Amino acid sequence: MRPPILFPLFADVTTFAGIGSKYAKLLGNLDIKKIGDVLWHLPYSLVNRNIVPSLKNVKIGEINTVEVSVIEHEPPRRKSQPYRVMCEDNLGNQLLLCFFKAYTSSIEKNLPVGEKRFVSGKIESFNNMLQMSHPDYIVKDLKAVPQYEPIYGLTAGITNKFMNKLAEQALQRVPDFAEWQDENFLKQRRFPSFNQAIIAVHHPCNIDDLLPTNPMRTRLAYDELLANQLALAIVRQKIKKQKGRKIAGNGLLRRKVLDMLPFKLTNAQEKVLGEIFADQASDNRMLRLLQGDVGSGKTIVALLTMLNAVECGTQAAIMAPTEILAKQHMETIGPVCEAIGLRAELLIGKVKGKARNKIIADLAEGKIDILIGTHALFVEDVEFNDLACVIIDEQHRFGVHQRLNLSNKGNKADILVMTATPIPRSLILTAFGDMEYSKIDQLPEGRKPIDTRVMPLTKADDVIEALKNKLKQGARAYWVCPLVEESEKLDLAAAEQRFELLQKVFGDKVGLIHGKMKEKQKDEIMEQFKSGKINLLVATTVIEVGVNVPEATIMIIEHAERFGLAQLHQLRGRVKRSNNAATCLLLYGYPISDTARARLQVMKQTEDGFLIAEEDLKLRGGGEILGTKQSGFTNFKLADMSVHQGLLLTASQDAKMIVNNDPDLKTPRGEALRILLYLFERDDAVKTYLAG
């Protein structure tokens, strides 16, 4: 249950005076639904409404506040004309106030002839006359004009004046909270209380007050980061306490597989396997994140992890985010299992009828050792005989809650989650703080660096000419079409257009694959590309994750400036699947922003996915690090990952200490921290685990 002290902040915005369904809908466009949301909607700029002594001192084109006397009203003669009010200052300098689509009675009431008023707004010069259109303020008392007015992000139908009033109303509802931060920490950092900080950030007095490094904003960012880290630490503690089962096989199946491999495992793979086997052998359940760059050999690690469970007479499963990836795992793992006398099966959406029923029956009887599939593995009627190990591929597609639901499926099953998307250390903490962490930071021997070149799109014809020669020599290539922000239709149009152009040059050796195709069509095209029947594949980003065609050694990315660094890195990884020399061409269009140019330079300079991820964080901040809105990463409202990484590490350590010393949050600080968790809506992650 949410603590009653927070009820005022979780009330709907319609409980504010003057806000009905119309304004509630408009505020919803700004992600403001509750009163507390107004508090997190921070100003991004500032207007200084300083009073000027006379109209001689005004700055044209800027906001000015000045005292004037009302001389006369000039109602419009025609509809197209504005309503004008002539005013003058105490020195006789004139100012014309203009109102378009005006209410006459309202203007006459607010600006009676012969009286003085303070007016505030932008002053322009028109026909040698000073003019102010629709003043922001017309008041008798100067106190009614804020000297510093915060500027908020707005949406159509919402004015800045309205947002300022809303912020003032929301601040009046903030309860007097007990302090949840450590007293010595606050002194050391010179942080104010939460209440002081939230009032101050909505009343900036200079530009420095708007910076994320300002002490007031830093205090609030730390509160949000601590709520995030504490929630994850509690979940992690709970998972650690969940009794697991000791899984330690005799190594016979693993030895057979290692003897079959044409290569030796890298030191990094050996190290990671050591960490995983230790987790499996312990009394507690494993929940571990395995991060490995494209081509670093995660699949063999996953297979050996599953074989450790199968050696103990139990079952294992591997779940991929797409059917293409699930089938690819089956193609890799299936033959190996068959060779060592095990049975692996594929369960995806298109497996239906008798075939599906047989798999489900055999699975329940324990006749299947390893099951491979998509999320279809975890629908209700799929029951394992004894599931002891679950591998989830491309983990960022699944959030904390899905991880917990999955783990409930097996009989205390261990979980290993894998991603080829390099994630900066700070974001691992915010998104996967509930998990242990391993990293394969070494590529197999013999891999050659990819020749990455950056060139303007105007050279596309030269690229096509060079491609002719390469394809004649037996090469295979991808041509990835531009990403069009927020529009799959336009993405598709761009791909189809490029496909038609290339078809004129290369005929039936070109294929097209995109997200709108049915799975069957995608599979057919991919098979043709794998077999070499087509040797040039035009694609949207559907090929970004995991597609494995070792013979493909050329990657051309059109309008590369539109892609994020993580995506460019993933795409380039498609031609890093063998020891053959590979090329990646990044074609950019104009205009190109400085950030996009910097991204392409990073791609040219390094292939280290972890370094690229850190650079991506600097260039873009954390919210979009994976180039997908559904990444499962926390989008913070107050913390900025490009600035507050140091705070995150501190919050992580603080959270661990809190959970170790006060696991049930029963001390006075613990009670206050419960409020913090609910305030930042981290209750979902913890309500299952915290009594009360």
320-366 pLDDT per residue, tens: 888 888 888 998 999 999 999 999 999 988 888 999 999 999 999 99
Taking 50 as the threshold, does the pLDDT of residue 691 lie above it? no
**pLDDT value for 649:** 87
Overall CATH class of domain 451-606: alpha beta
Q: How confident is the model at residue 72 (pLDDT cuts 50, 70, 90)?
A: very high
Q: What rounded mean pLDDT belongs to the chain?
A: 86
Query: Residue 315 burial by CB count (10 A; 0-12/13-18/19+): exposed, middle or buried?
Result: buried
Residues 29-55 have a mean pLDDT of 93
**pTM of the full structure:** 0.67
**pLDDT value for 625:** 39
Residue 63 near residue 134 (C-beta atoms within 8 A): no
Residue 304 near residue 257 (C-beta atoms within 8 A): yes
Report the candidate in 218, 114, 154 with the shortest Cα–Cα distance to residue 26. Answer: 154
Overall CATH class of domain 50-145: mainly beta
**pLDDT value for 610:** 76
Helix (H) or strand (E) holding 654: helix 645-661
Taking 80 as the threshold, does the pLDDT of residue 74 lie above it? yes
Residues 652-680 have a mean pLDDT of 93
Residue 632 near residue 398 (C-beta atoms within 8 A): yes
CA distance readout (Å), 59 to 56, 144, 205, 607: 9, 22, 20, 52
**pLDDT value for 398:** 58
Helix (H) or strand (E) holding 451: strand 451-456
**pLDDT value for 623:** 41
Taking 70 as the threshold, does the pLDDT of residue 402 lie above it? no
| Highest mean pLDDT out of 266-275, 525-534, 578-587 | 266-275
**pLDDT value for 626:** 37
Contacts of 340 (CB under 8 A, 6+ apart): 253, 256, 257, 260
Q: What is the CATH number of domain 252-440?
A: 3.40.50.300
Taking 90 as the threshold, does the pLDDT of residue 677 lie above it? yes
Parallel, antiparallel, or unpaired: how do β-strands 536-539 and 414-419 relate?
Answer: unpaired
Three-state secondary structure call for residue 123: strand
Taking 70 as the threshold, does the pLDDT of residue 631 lie above it? no
Residues 567-582 have a mean pLDDT of 82
Residues 403-461 pLDDT 10s: 555 556 556 788 898 887 777 766 777 767 667 888 888 877 777 888 999 999 999 99
**pLDDT value for 407:** 56
CATH 3.40.50.300 residue ranges of the chain are 252-440, 451-606
Q: How confident is the model at residue 571 (pLDDT cuts 50, 70, 90)?
A: confident
CA distance readout (Å), 402 to 395, 409, 426, 623, 685: 10, 11, 22, 20, 11
Taking 50 as the threshold, does the pLDDT of residue 663 lie above it? yes
**Cis check: omega of the bond before 591, within 30 degrees of 0:** yes
**pLDDT value for 542:** 64
**pLDDT value for 491:** 62
**pLDDT value for 423:** 74
Residues 266-274 have a mean pLDDT of 95
Three-state secondary structure call for residue 128: coil
**pLDDT value for 687:** 62
Residues 115-130 pLDDT 10s: 999 999 999 999 889 9
Q: How confident is the model at residue 608 (pLDDT cuts 50, 70, 90)?
A: confident
CATH 2.40.50.140 residue ranges of the chain are 50-145
Residues 478-500 pLDDT 10s: 999 876 555 566 667 778 888 99
Residues 465-475 pLDDT 10s: 999 989 988 89
Share of the chain above pLDDT 70, in %: 90
Residues 515-536 pLDDT 10s: 778 878 888 888 899 888 999 9
